[in-house]
Amino acid sequence: MTDLQSLDIPPGSSHKRPLVVMRNVSKSFSSGTLALSDMSLTVEGGEFVSLLGPSGCGKSTALRIIAGLGDTTTGTIDWPASRINVRGLPEGDISFVFQEPTLMPWQTVFGNVYLPLRLRGVSRAHAADAIMTALDTVGLKDFAKAYPRELSGGMKMRVSIARALVTKPKLLLMDEPFAALDEITRQKLNDDVLKLWRDTGITVIFVTHSVFESAYLANRIVVMKARPGRVHADFPLQTSLERGPLYRASEDYRAACEKVSAALLDAMGGEAMEMH
Amino acid sequence: MSTASPVPTAASAAKNRETLLRILIPILVVVALVVLWQVLVTATGVPQYILPGPGAVAQSLVKDWGTLAPALWVTTQITMAALGLALIGGVGIAIFLIQSKWIETAFYPIAVILQVTPIVAIAPLILIYAPTTQVALLICAFLVAFFPILSNMVQGLKSVDHNLLNLFDLYGASRWQTLIYLKLPASLPYFMTGLRIGGGLSLIAAVVAEFAAGSAGAGSGLAFRLLEAQYRLNIPRLFAALVLLSALGVVIFGITSFIAWLGLHRWHESSVRREN
């Protein structure tokens, strides 16, 4: 396991401060289940981190705790580079994309993307530009007036991503966002997220159980181990190629898949692994 | 999503024909039954004080309009006022009940007790306490219509998608914002169900309560006119009063269905017709 603490740069350093620092976080549920045990993770601005692990390893719990959905039992989450609000969260710096699109069916696409701004008290007229820009980013500018039921599964997910982007967050948290989509749509959305990451410099923490997805997207892999959830391996994935169709066919990608797969297998203690 | 302008095609013509049939067939059935009724009455020569024909009923409707119209107006007023109060009370108390588990535990049983007690049994008490008979009728009708609206609203307010609740938490929504932008719209389908049931029940309760009250005189409603016609063996007028009550019920059903359609038709199919 990599020494995570060494990534934690002391204040006053000329180096850019990390975006989020999870220190020795444990989480147990009221049922007594220990979901996370002594988990530490430091994410730098601009990273694309993939949280990977078998089901039940606490990767979604870790993501939710970073987002402030649920408290830690012990340990702390710090935001060295952000201004935090009374709830200890960086106001407007984080956005979350759930596994389901989680749209309000009674609102149009426009209304759904407007939600984060509406909750901040921004008027519809003032928000319109930001909303249309976010919709343009995900290629749904022409569907502003449509209702969610008129959209395909992939399009709904794009609306969900547009809603996450409308506040111009620094950190995008994605909890198995494309797990329910077909392979072609999933690849398309993977490419869209990569483009977004390259174009905006946003930091992404992407939870998945797919070796191929994480090897394709992330420049840093964090493999988690189950019962209780903790970090098992943490390594960068480097390639000279731009991530895209060319990368998907390259030797680099194959090697990355093998490396990630080996780390996951190791985390599962050699249990037979289901490949997705 | 197709944005093509509506062009009359074979398919849309077939749809129009179906819509026309949907309206025509029920009307034809009713007309046929009325004709059959008249034929039977004429053929068997049954006396009018036992079963008047539709012609005699229509005649009575015209002749007694001076007595029946004010009674219809009184019943309409009581029904509508009771429904209105039940809507305000039902929604208001439902919002109050969901504020905390303990509030619900404490107060919900009282609402259930009020509901399960037969209204006719409380009517004499209400008649004693209420300042006028009209107010007593209003209270009775309110008590009956109120509960389905309350229970549907409580159910609706509590059935909000947990991920959407998480999303609202994530964006720091206040209790008030969560209620206005999420819980109330999400419970609209439940509200509409309550409205339709409550609309029908408030008319039934207005009639039953008037039977129980045995009110008489100028300010009385259709139920009294019905009883009065029975005492006088004026069966055609009894039927006329019955026809007016049915008509009132149909109008209430039509209005509540239309309101439900207005509120839901654009998005609620989502919860009826599922993809996947």
Q: Checking DSSP bridges between strand A94-97 and strand A171-175, what pairing results, if any?
A: parallel
Who's near A237: CB < 8 A, 6+ residues apart? A215, A218, A219, A220, A221, A256, A259, A260
More confidently predicted of A114 and A272: A114
B103: confidence class by pLDDT, cuts 50, 70, 90: confident
Query: Which range among A75-79, A155-159, B242-246 shows the weakest confidence by mean pLDDT?
Result: A75-79
User: For residue A273, is it within any domain?
Assistant: no
Best of B183, B267, B272 to substitute, by most chain A Cβ atoms within 10 angstroms, is B267
In single-letter form, the type of residue at position A216 comes to: Y
Nearest CA in chain B to A142: B1
Range of the domain at B183: 52-265
pLDDT in tens, B16-57: 888 888 889 999 999 999 999 999 999 998 888 888 989 999
Asked if A160 and A182 sit in the same domain, the reply is no
| Beta carbons within 8 Å of B15's beta carbon, 6+ residues apart | none
Q: C-alpha angle with apex A1: A32 to A57, nearest 5 degrees?
A: 30
User: How many angstroms separate the CA of residue A96 from the nearest CA in chain B?
Assistant: 8
CB contact (8 A) between residue B275 and residue A153: yes
β-bridge pairing A20-28 and A94-97: unpaired
Contacts of A195 (CB under 8 A, 6+ apart): none
B104 in any annotated domain: yes
A100 touches chain B (CB under 8 A): yes
Asked if this assembly's ipTM is beyond 0.85, the reply is no
- Are both A80 and A36 inside the same structural domain? yes
Q: Is B266 on the interface with A (CB under 8 A)?
A: yes
Smallest CA-to-CA distance from A194 within A262, A137, A118 is with A137
**Which tokens belong to B74?**
């009184």
Nearest to A105 among B163, B170, B267 (CB): B267
A174 and A259 inside one domain: yes
Range of the domain at A64: 4-93+170-267
- Whether A198 is covered by a domain: the verdict is yes
Q: In this structure, is residue A272 part of a structural domain?
A: no
Q: Is residue B275 part of a domain?
A: no
The number of distinct structural domains making up chain B is 1
Query: Cα A230 vs. chain centroid, distance in angstroms?
Result: 17
Q: Which residues on chain B are in Cβ contact (under 8 Å) with A116?
A: 171
In a domain, A276, yes or no: no
Residues in chain B within 8 Å Cβ distance of A106: 185-186, 188, 266-268
Q: Is residue B9 part of a domain?
A: no
Do both A56 and A23 map to the same domain? yes
Domain of A217, CATH number, reads 3.40.50.300
Same domain? A219 vs A83: yes
Q: What is the CA radius of gyration of chain B?
A: 24
Q: What is the DSSP letter of A17?
A: P
Q: Are residues A178 and A128 in the same domain?
A: no
Does residue A271 belong to the interface with chain B, where contact is any CB pair within 8 Å? Answer: no
Whether residue A274 lies inside any domain: the answer is no
Closest residue to B163, CB basis, from A100, A143, A153: A100
Choosing from A122, A147, A168, the residue where a domain stops is A168
In a domain, B89, yes or no: yes
Residues A47 and A154 occupy one common structural domain: no
Flag whether A275 is in a domain.
no
pLDDT at A191 over 70: yes
* Separation CA A8–CA A12 (nearest Å): 12
Residue B43 in contact with partner chain A when CB distance is under 8 A:
no
Inter-chain residue contact A115 with B164, CB threshold 8 Å = no
Angle between helical axes of B101-116 and B133-158 (0-180°, round to 10): 140
Treating both helix axes as pointing N-terminal to C-terminal, what angle do A109-119 and A153-165 enclose, rounded to 10 degrees? 30
Please report residues of A whose CB lies closer than 8 A to that of B177: 119
User: What mean pLDDT value characterizes chain B?
Assistant: 86
- Which has more pLDDT, B12 or A155? A155
Where residue B204 falls among pLDDT bands split at 50, 70, 90? very high
Please give the tally of structural domains in chain A: 2
Q: Identify whether residues A151 and A201 lie together within a single domain.
A: no
Q: Which residues of B touch A105 (CB under 8 A)?
A: 267-268, 270-271
Asked if residue A222 belongs to a domain, the reply is yes
Judging by DSSP bridges, how do beta strands A48-52 and A203-208 pair with one another?
A: parallel
In a domain, B29, yes or no: no
Residues A114 and A211 in one domain: no
From the list A233, A230, A210, the residue with the least C-alpha distance to A221 is A233
Whole-angstrom CA distances from A4 to A226, B56, B201, B251 are 19, 94, 67, 71
Q: How far apart are the C-alpha atoms of A219 and A60, rounded to whole Å?
A: 19
**Structure tokens belonging to residue B194:** 């309550």
Angle at alpha carbon of residue A123, lines to A121 and A126, rounded to 5°: 125
pLDDT at A5: 42
Name the token pair of B130.
């209420």
Residues 61-90 of chain B whose Cβ lies under 8 A from any Cβ of chain A: none
Q: Scan residues 142-161 of B and list those with Cβ closer than 8 Å to A.
A: 161
A149 touches B: beta carbon within 8 Å: yes
Indicate if A191 and A206 belong to the same structural domain: yes
CATH of the domain at B117: 1.10.3720.10
CA atoms of A53 and A63, how far apart (whole Å) = 13
* Residue B20 placed within a domain: no
For B53-92, the pLDDT digits (tens) are: 899 999 999 999 998 999 999 999 999 999 999 999 999 9
Show residues of chain A in contact with B186, CB under 8 Å: 104, 106
Is there a single domain that holds both residue A39 and residue A145?
Answer: no
E strand intervals along chain A: 20-28, 34-43, 48-52, 74-78, 94-97, 171-175, 203-208, 220-225, 230-236
> Judging by DSSP bridges, how do beta strands A230-236 and A20-28 pair with one another?
unpaired
Q: Kindly report, residue by residue over A206-248, the tens digit of the pLDDT.
A: 998 888 888 888 888 888 888 788 788 788 887 777 787 888 8
The pair of three-digit structure tokens given for residue A181, joined into one six-digit string: 């989509």
Residue-wise pLDDT for B137-190, tens only, equals 899 889 888 888 998 999 999 989 888 998 998 888 889 999 999 999 999 999
pLDDT at A61 over 90: no
Does residue A151 share a domain with residue A174?
Answer: no
